[in-house]
């Protein structure tokens, strides 16, 4: 900016602030529209201090001048006062009359909040900008900025809620026959049989980044999940018998290596569940706690493949003395592949072993699973699916005083599909329909079961 223009803007500021010329011999008559134009020119020329002076002068005459507020929203952060810019941007948004004006104000407010270090507010304003983004290019830029803010934010929050009908809300048996090799035949209670109904779940989570360097980071977090069910079958089983509440605390550390990364996580989970008395139909609140430690290693193979190894150990302590404590060990191998067009394929194999003084909790299991997620929508939807098989053996399983001949053996087939609807996304949130199902064959009929459920969940783009 030239010295002449600098002096002219300074003189204009003086006129607006005092109402008179800066010298006795000179006066400047300038319309508000001309003052706005000069202030904008100063801002675009990098003279943010002069632009702020002019904008404040305009606001002294017209407190709700949107153009002046926009200039302050853009310039204040450059002068070390992003909070003032954020407040001005929010006021400009309230005064906006079109979607394009709202988009401009929301973007500037988000930038000011980001500069201020208020990342949650920046995310809020980016979501407001996304609602009124004028075209696909701007929408893509907002999404990219939202992901950047999420990476910079030491806090991350998750909220999930679902309500889904299910043919087997309690994981019950497919029939009422109680039979197993080497044991008497009987009849299963109502709550041990598959019950149709609705499953509602609410999950809240928060994670805080305690420390981060170019090669490592440490996270601490907490999560709550509550599940409530509504039984629609005509049985004498209260809904409260199937309610659960779960709280988890975790501490995690990740470190980048010359090849891939390594991570370790320590967690503690406390679960409240209900124990039903089939005679009185009263429920008792029971509880168990579980400590778990996992170490995982990820090794890239080229630019588009990765192999993972995970080992884990857990210790579960039940309040109910008859169950006894359980110790579990696990080992898993995973493989991931990014296809040239961006689709993601993954496969894993997991082995687990559980030991306990209670023979019904001693087991070994194998699980194999694959998943495939399409990068681009297929017509109006995004699509991903997964499926797998699991085999579990309980060598010492007993029903009362009778030991099951050959032990209990369960074979399970499971699958799921996620169908997203990006065309009806709102503020970065997309509805996703989930379909999950499983079928288990067991030589103990109590555990022969089949279930199918559909539900709706909401996912966030950032």
Residues forming CATH 2.40.160.40 domain(s) in the chain: 156-460
Listed in sequence order, the residues at least 6 apart from 124 whose beta carbon sits closer than 8 Å to its beta carbon are 113
The confidence score (pLDDT) of residue 19 equals 41
The confidence score (pLDDT) of residue 290 equals 98
> Averaged in consecutive runs of 10 residues, what is the pLDDT profile of the chain (462 residues)?
42 43 45 88 92 93 95 95 97 97 97 96 97 95 96 92 91 94 94 94 96 96 96 92 96 96 98 86 90 98 95 96 93 97 97 96 98 95 97 96 96 97 93 95 97 90 90
User: Are 178 and 185 a contacting pair, CB within 8 Å?
Assistant: yes
- Torsion 48-129-156-91 (CA) sign: positive
**Domain 3-150, classified CATH 1.25.40.10, yes or no:** yes
The confidence score (pLDDT) of residue 278 equals 75
The confidence score (pLDDT) of residue 21 equals 36
The confidence score (pLDDT) of residue 154 equals 96
The owner of tokens 């948004």 is 93
**Domain 156-460, classified CATH 2.40.160.40, yes or no:** yes
Q: Is 214 exposed, middle or buried (0-12, 13-18, 19+ CB in 10 A)?
A: exposed
The confidence score (pLDDT) of residue 29 equals 60
Residues forming CATH 1.25.40.10 domain(s) in the chain: 3-150
For 167-215, list the strands marked E by DSSP. 177-178, 186-187, 197-212
Among 75, 68, 44, which residue's Cα sits nearest to residue 54?
Answer: 68
């Amino acid at each position: 900016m030239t010295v002449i223009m600098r002096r002219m803007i300074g003189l204009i500021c003086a006129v607006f602030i005092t109402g008179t010329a800066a010298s006795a011999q000179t006066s400047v008559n300038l319309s508000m529209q001309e003052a706005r134009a000069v202030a904008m020119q100063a801002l675009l020329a990098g003279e943010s201090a002069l632009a702020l002076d002019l904008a404040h002068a305009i606001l002294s005459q017209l407190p709700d001048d949107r153009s002046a507020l926009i200039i302050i929203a853009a310039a204040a952060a450059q002068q070390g006062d992003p909070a003032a810019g954020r407040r001005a941007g929010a006021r400009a948004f309230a005064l906006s009359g079109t979607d394009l004006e709202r988009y401009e104000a929301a973007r500037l407010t988000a930038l000011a909040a980001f500069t201020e270090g208020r990342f949650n507010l920046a995310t809020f304003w980016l979501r407001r900008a996304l609602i009124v983004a004028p075209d696909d290019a701007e929408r893509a830029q907002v999404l990219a900025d939202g992901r950047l803010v999420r990476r910079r934010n030491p806090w991350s929050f998750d909220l999930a809620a679902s309500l889904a009908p299910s043919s087997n809300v309690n994981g019950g048996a497919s029939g009422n026959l109680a039979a197993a090799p080497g044991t008497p035949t009987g009849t299963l209670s109502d709550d041990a049989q598959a019950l149709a109904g609705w499953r509602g779940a609410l999950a809240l989570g928060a994670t805080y980044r305690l420390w981060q360097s170019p090669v490592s980071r440490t996270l601490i977090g907490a999560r709550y999940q509550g599940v409530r069910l509504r039984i629609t079958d005509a049985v004498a089983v209260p809904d409260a018998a199937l309610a659960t509440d779960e709280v988890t605390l975790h501490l995690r550390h990740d470190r980048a290596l010359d090849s891939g990364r390594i991570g370790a996580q320590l967690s503690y989970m406390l679960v409240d569940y209900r124990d039903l008395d089939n005679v009185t139909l009263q429920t008792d609140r029971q509880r168990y706690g579980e400590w778990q430690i996992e170490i995982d290693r990820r090794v890239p193979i080229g630019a588009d493949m990765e192999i993972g190894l995970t080992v884990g150990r857990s210790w579960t302590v039940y309040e109910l003395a008859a169950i006894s404590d359980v110790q579990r060990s696990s080992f898993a191998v995973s493989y991931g592949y990014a296809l040239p067009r961006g689709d993601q394929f993954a496969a894993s194999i997991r082995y687990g072993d559980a030991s306990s003084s209670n023979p019904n909790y001693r087991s070994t299991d194998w699980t194999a699973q694959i998943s495939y997620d399409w990068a681009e929508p297929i017509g109006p939807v995004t699509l991903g699916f997964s499926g797998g098989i699991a085999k579990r053996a309980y060598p010492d399983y007993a029903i009362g005083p009778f030991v099951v001949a050959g032990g209990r053996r369960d074979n399970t087939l499971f699958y799921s599909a996620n169908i997203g609807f990006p065309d009806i996304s709102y503020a970065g949130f997309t509805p996703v329909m989930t379909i999950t199902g499983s079928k288990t064959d067991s030589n103990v009929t109590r555990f022969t079961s089949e279930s199918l459920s559909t539900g709706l969940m909401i996912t966030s783009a950032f």
